[in-house]
């Protein structure tokens, strides 16, 4: 059972009252006790235990459940202790009830009875529950514009980590001979926060040793969002090689000491968005098993499966059809599983099925924005924005030096959640890549518009008012504004014929996407006895005027006028309007032929009343 309605009187049956949802929390306990909606991913614990890797690296896009799963693992494995670090008796352990089920005392909020999770049926896994010290550190908030800010952020995380195990402070002054004087002095620095670079590198190794000596049990080390500080450093000061390398050295030392040469390690799990190559973070770790969204293992534990979404859609009152919701958020195929973005699905359900760009609005990365605006892959971006797929090689290990190559850019977009992969030659890492759904389609459209606007040296918000001149029938004003924009532009026309063609195809695609809310777009379609480049059929109740656009890119400005006239004649002669007249709400047909060459444009048009 993947959908938990733990309180029988809090379901939709109570006057169609929607279930309570806890969205945005990374706290496993908080989700279980304060939400009626919970998708059970606890069998991930079994898969983790069965994996032969001593250290496991799992990469997934942001908002795909990485931190929540990490917290679930912490709650499962961690020894629950009192303020003195003494393990609690089984009857007083809250974490155990999260998995076995039972009554949880919520204080003034009363009590909550939980159902057993799936993992409770696995005897071997449950024998491990609550029996390990756990080190859990999350680097998602460690960002900065220079090295010192990154170092300070790491110091804060390390100090907080030791504070979570404050019962270990007694070993600084105790005579139990657990630590020698040098170790006591070092431990004291971690609790006071007076740390140097070497202390940061040794931090997880030191804590695991003290925890092992305290409990007599090896340690689980959970490192979440490991690549956030590295990506932030690259974006903000990657050109300052020494500072950037100093950041890498800290993590290289931290991971090496705690995950490779650590006799106190039971198992390590690292999560992030990307596998950063050539940073040598894992080069010394010969025991790392890596799983990306291309791998079958762990695929169903990040995001929601088709079956889970189908069940969720039956449990929550909706003002939108399940088919529409699936069209907006379906489209990912990770490791052979159909997977939905959990962030988008939960927010959609919480708003009774309102379709919106929830995941896109939750933030992004500078690296992704840079990729989407790159000239190097703009022809591919236009292909994707028009609903087509592309073929590209994918590298699982992305290096910053390769970030401007076609393979590097599309690998970044794929592993960041902006593309869906279909294997063509998996042995050679060749994949067919497509935009997964309508939500993600929006970012390709907006970034394409941003790219075109930057070439025209205009704010992208002004592009909408410019494009609106077409359906309004203000073609002369549109023509004058377009010519003015081209004359003021200084970049695209100086880069050769190919780049000019790329710009104009992007310009037309941006124009179409801008008008798409009020139109059904049909590009290069057979109508009557000929072909039109673009036909825009108005949606009933939104627009009244249909638009037919024929455009060509010319090699000589001397031919502009004649080619534009020929284009309009072709529209007239070949009866492109045949299908349009079948739509009774269409009042006018606006026929436009454009010819481009460098900074110059010629435009011919006719506006005909539909009789």
Mean pLDDT of the chain, nearest integer: 90
DSSP state letter for 423: E
Its domain, for residue 418, covers: 366-440
Specify the CATH number for the domain of residue 168: 3.40.50
Least confident of 196-205, 291-300, 441-450: 441-450
- The H or E element that residue 271 is part of is strand 265-272
Of 211 and 574, more confident: 211
Q: What is the predicted pLDDT for the residue at 5?
A: 42
Q: Are residues 379 and 506 in the same domain?
A: no
Report pLDDT for 12. Answer: 43
Q: Is the pLDDT of residue 280 over 80?
A: no
Looking at residue 583, its pLDDT comes to: 86
Q: Is residue 11 part of a domain?
A: no
498, HSE (Cβ side, Cα atoms, 13 Å): 4
Radius of gyration of the chain (CA): 29
CA 73 to the chain's CA centroid: 22
- Count up the domains in the chain and report the number: 3
Residue of 300, 266, 250 whose CA lies nearest to 60:
300
CB 398 within 8 A of CB 412: yes
Name residues whose C-beta falls within 8 Å of residue 132's C-beta, 6 or more positions apart in sequence: 77, 78, 79, 217, 218, 219, 220, 266
Are 550 and 594 in contact, with CB atoms under 8 Å apart? yes
523 pairs with which residues across the strands? 534
The proportion of the chain whose per-residue pLDDT surpasses 70, expressed as a percent, equals 93
Q: What is the mean pLDDT of residues 384-409?
A: 89
240 located within any domain: yes
Under the banding of pLDDT at 50, 70 and 90, the label for residue 524 is low
* Residue 186 scores a pLDDT above 80: yes
Within a domain: residue 133? Answer: yes
Q: How many Å apart are CA 179 and CA 362, to the nearest integer?
A: 46
Given a contact cutoff of 8 angstroms between Cβ atoms, the answer to whether 338 and 319 are in contact is no
Residue 394 shares a structural domain with residue 464: no
Q: Is the pLDDT of residue 436 over 70?
A: yes
Query: Do the domain assignments include residue 314?
Result: no
Of the segments 70-84, 494-508, 574-588, which one has the largest average pLDDT value?
Answer: 70-84
**Is there a single domain that holds both residue 118 and residue 200?**
yes
406 and 543 both lie in a single domain: no
pLDDT at residue 370 in the model: 83
| CA-wise closest residue to 198 among 238, 256, 144 | 256
Amino acid 375: pLDDT: 86
* pLDDT value, residue 492: 54
Burial of 218 (0-12, 13-18, 19+ CB in 10 A): middle
pLDDT at 495: 53
- 474 and 415, same structural domain? no
483 and 599 both lie in a single domain: yes
296, part of any domain: no
Backbone φ, ψ for residue 469 (5° rounding): -65, -30
| One domain, residues 99 and 234 | yes
CATH of the domain at 515: 3.40.1350
* 435 and 465 fall within a common domain: no
d(CA 576, CA 144): 57
Indicate the residue among 236, 263, 291 that finishes a domain. 291
One DSSP character per residue, 49-65 reads HH---SEEEEE--TTSS
* Long-range contacts of the stretch 541-546 (C-beta < 8 A, 24+): 541/585, 542/517, 542/518, 543/471, 543/518, 543/519, 544/585, 544/586, 544/587, 544/588, 545/471, 545/473, 545/586, 545/587, 545/588, 545/589, 545/590, 546/577, 546/580, 546/583, 546/586, 546/588, 546/589, 546/590
Using the Cα atoms of residue 575, residue 581, residue 582 and residue 586 in order, give the sign of their dihedral.
positive
Residue where a domain terminates, one of 230, 259, 291: 291
Question: Does 113 score more than 50 pLDDT?
Answer: yes
pLDDT at residue number 555:
84
Calpha distance 419→487 (Å, rounded): 36
| Mean predicted confidence (pLDDT) in 407-423 | 94
Q: In whole angstroms, what is the distance from residue 87 CA to residue 215 CA?
A: 9
More confident residue, 540 or 212: 212
**Residue 151, domain member (yes or no):** yes
* 313 within a domain of the structure (yes/no): no
Both 277 and 381 in one domain: the answer is: no
Cross-strand bridge partners of residue 600: 597
The set of residues, in sequence order, having a beta carbon less than 8 Å from that of 443 and lying 6+ positions away, is: 357, 360, 372, 418
Minimal CA–CA distance to 210: which of 184, 181, 173?
Answer: 184
Question: How far from 269 is each of 28, 255, 294, 326, CA to CA, in Å?
Answer: 17, 11, 18, 32
Is the pLDDT at 343 greater than 80? The verdict is: yes
Give the model's pLDDT for residue 489: 75
Same structural domain for residues 131 and 251?
Answer: yes
**Which one, of 484, 466, 478, 467, lies nearest residue 604 by Cα?**
478
pLDDT at 491: 61
> Do residues 481 and 429 share a domain?
no
Does pLDDT of 364 surpass 80?
Answer: no
For 121-162, write each residue's pLDDT tens digit.
999 999 999 999 999 999 999 999 999 999 999 999 999 999
Examine residue 84 and state whether it is found in any structural domain, yes or no.
yes
In the chain, the percentage of residues whose pLDDT exceeds 90 is 70
- Write down the pLDDT at residue 427: 85
Distance CA(19)–CA(316), nearest Å, equals: 7
Output DSSP code: residue 281: S
Rounded Cα distance, 230 and 251, in Å: 9
pLDDT at residue 459, rounded to an integer = 86
- Per DSSP, helices labelled H in 193-285 are 197-215, 228-237, 241-259
| Higher local confidence (pLDDT), 239 or 531 | 239
Q: How confident is the model at residue 163 (pLDDT cuts 50, 70, 90)?
A: very high
Q: Is there a single domain that holds both residue 428 and residue 476?
A: no
CB 370 within 8 A of CB 335: no
Mean pLDDT of 400-409: 85
3-state per-residue secondary structure call for 132-198: ECEEEEECCCCCCCCHHHHHHHHHHHHHHHHHCCHHHHHHHCCCCCCCCHHHHHHHHHHHHCCCCHH
Task: Give pLDDT tens digits for 580-590.
Answer: 888 889 999 99
* Nearest partner of 264 among 206, 199, 178, judged by Cα: 206
Separation in Å, CA 394 to CA 39, 188, 222, 369, 423: 31, 47, 28, 19, 10
């Amino acid at each position: 059972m993947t959908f938990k309605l733990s309180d029988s009187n809090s379901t939709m049956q109570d006057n169609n009252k929607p279930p309570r949802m806890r969205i945005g929390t990374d706290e496993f306990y908080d989700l279980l006790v304060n939400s009626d909606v919970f998708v059970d991913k606890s069998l991930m614990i079994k898969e983790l235990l069965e994996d032969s890797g001593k250290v496991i690296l799992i990469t997934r896009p942001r908002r795909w459940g990485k931190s929540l799963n990490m917290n679930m693992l912490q709650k499962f494995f961690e020894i629950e202790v009192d303020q003195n670090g003494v393990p609690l008796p089984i009857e007083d352990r809250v974490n155990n009830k999260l998995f076995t089920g039972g009554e949880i005392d919520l204080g003034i909020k009363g009590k909550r009875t939980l159902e057993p999770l799936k993992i409770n049926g696995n005897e071997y896994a449950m024998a491990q529950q609550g029996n390990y010290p756990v080190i859990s550190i999350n680097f998602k908030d460690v960002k900065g514009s220079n090295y010192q800010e990154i170092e300070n952020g790491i110091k804060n995380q390390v100090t907080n980590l030791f504070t979570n195990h404050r019962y270990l402070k007694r070993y600084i002054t105790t005579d139990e001979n657990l630590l020698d004087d040098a170790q006591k002095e070092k431990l004291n620095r971690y609790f006071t926060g007076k740390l140097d670079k070497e202390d940061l590198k040794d931090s997880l190794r030191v804590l695991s040793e003290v925890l092992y000596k305290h409990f007599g049990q090896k340690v689980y080390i959970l490192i979440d969002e490991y690549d956030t500080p590295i990506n932030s450093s690259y974006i903000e000061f990657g050109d300052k090689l020494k500072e950037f390398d100093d950041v890498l050295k800290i993590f290289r030392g931290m991971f090496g000491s705690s995950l490779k040469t650590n006799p106190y390690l039971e198992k390590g799990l690292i999560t992030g968005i990307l596998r950063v190559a050539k940073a040598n973070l894992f080069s010394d770790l010969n025991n790392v098993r890596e799983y990306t969204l291309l791998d079958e293992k762990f695929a169903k534990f990040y995001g929601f499966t088709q079956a889970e979404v189908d069940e969720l859609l039956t449990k929550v009152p909706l003002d939108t059809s399940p088919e529409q919701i699936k069209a907006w958020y379906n489209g990912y195929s990770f490791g052979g599983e159909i997977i939905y973005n959990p962030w988008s699905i939960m927010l959609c359900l919480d708003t009774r099925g309102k379709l919106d760009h929830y995941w896109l609005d939750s933030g992004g990365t500078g690296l992704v924005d840079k990729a989407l605006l790159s000239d190097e892959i703009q022809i591919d971006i236009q292909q994707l924005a028009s609903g087509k797929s592309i073929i590209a090689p994918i590298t699982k290990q992305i290096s910053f030096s390769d970030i401007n190559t076609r393979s590097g850019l599309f690998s970044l977009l794929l592993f960041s959640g902006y593309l869906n992969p279909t294997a063509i030659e998996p042995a050679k890492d060749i994949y067919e890549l497509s935009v997964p759904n309508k939500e993600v389609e929006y970012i390709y459209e907006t970034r394409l518009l941003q790219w075109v606007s930057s070439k025209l040296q205009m704010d992208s918000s002004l592009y909408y008012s410019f494009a609106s001149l077409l359906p309004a029938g203000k073609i002369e004003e549109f023509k004058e504004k377009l010519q003015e924009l081209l004359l003021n532009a200084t970049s695209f026309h100086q880069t050769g014929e190919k780049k000019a063609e790329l710009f104009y195809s992007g310009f037309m695609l941006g124009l179409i996407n801008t008008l798409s809310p009020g139109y059904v777009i049909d590009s290069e379609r057979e109508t009557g006895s000929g072909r039109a480049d673009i036909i825009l059929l108005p949606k009933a109740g939104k627009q009244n005027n249909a638009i037919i656009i024929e455009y060509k890119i010319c090699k000589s400005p001397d031919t502009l006028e004649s080619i534009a006239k020929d284009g309009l004649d072709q529209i007239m002669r070949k009866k492109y309007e045949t299908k349009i007249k079948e739509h009774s709400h269409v009042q006018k047909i606006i026929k436009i032929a454009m010819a481009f060459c460098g900074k110059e444009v010629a435009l011919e048009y006719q506006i005909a009343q539909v009789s």
